[in-house]
Chain A
Amino acid sequence: QQQVKQSPQSLIVQKGGISIINCAYENTAFDYFPWYQQFPGKGPALLIAIRPDVSEKKEGRFTISFNKSAKQFSLHIMDSQPGDSATYFCAASKGGGGNKLTFGTGTQLKVEL
């Protein structure tokens, strides 16, 4: 049972463009939504995270948009750079302690010159 659906599976963006990755969740008990970036041979690294009481959060070129009623959230990468080429995962977890994250299936982003 996949509780977090992520799309697209892969994405090619030109340098300087905007990369957009979308996720949808089913479990309304989820209340913490992080995004992770993973380079080949490395473990995932936390990029940015949001709670459902906020509709948008921005950190540098990375922005999370959150739509609680639609149970959807998305990652926007502004001014995409070749160094952003990596796999991105959305995730969700329930409050009350613990680090049990449910991950999306990942999006392989390639930023071309």
Chain B
Amino acid sequence: KAGVTQTPRYLIKTRGQQVTLSCSPISGHRSVSWYQQTPGQGLQFLFEYFSETQRNKGNFPGRFSGRQFSNSRSEMNVSTLELGDSALYLCASSIQGGESPLHFGNGTRLTVT
């Protein structure tokens, strides 16, 4: 069974631009979550989608948004990029959320210059 796939692996963007990251969950998984990982703040929850609906949201500004499609694939978008948005963005999927095991992808490394 294929794992969680995130594309692209690396991105370099300029401050002020916007970016879209993509995530394909494990087949059969309906919950997709996004996390930001930085050396300073560690792993922080961005949001979770379940059956195309946002079910949970972390404490990030509105520049961070996401969506989930009917096939459970998900995208997250960051508009008006800031230098501080440079991070590893991790997508994770689970069968239904809650205590069902969370499976992470290997992330998209975003660098904002």
Contact = CB atoms under 8 A, between A and B. Distances in A.
Interface residues of A, number: 25
A17 to B, nearest CB: 26
A102 B4 CA distance: 21
Say what secondary structure dominates the interface of chain B: strand
A91 B37 CA distance: 14
A49 interface: yes
A83 interface: no
B42 A97 contact: no
Contact of A43 (B44, B55, B99, B104): B104
B106 A99 contact: no
Say what secondary structure dominates the interface of chain A: loop
Interface in B17-41: 31, 33, 35
Interface centre among A43, A89, A96, A105 (most CB of B within 10 A): A43
Nearest to A44: B104
A45 to B, nearest CB: 7
B43 A103 contact: yes
A61 interface: no
30 contacts: A34-B102, A41-B106, A43-B90, A43-B105, A44-B43, A44-B104, A45-B104, A46-B101, A46-B102, A46-B103, A49-B99, A91-B43, A95-B98, A97-B96, A97-B97, A97-B98, A98-B31, A98-B48, A98-B98, A99-B48, A99-B97, A99-B102, A100-B48, A101-B33, A101-B35, A101-B43, A101-B45, A101-B102, A103-B44, A105-B42
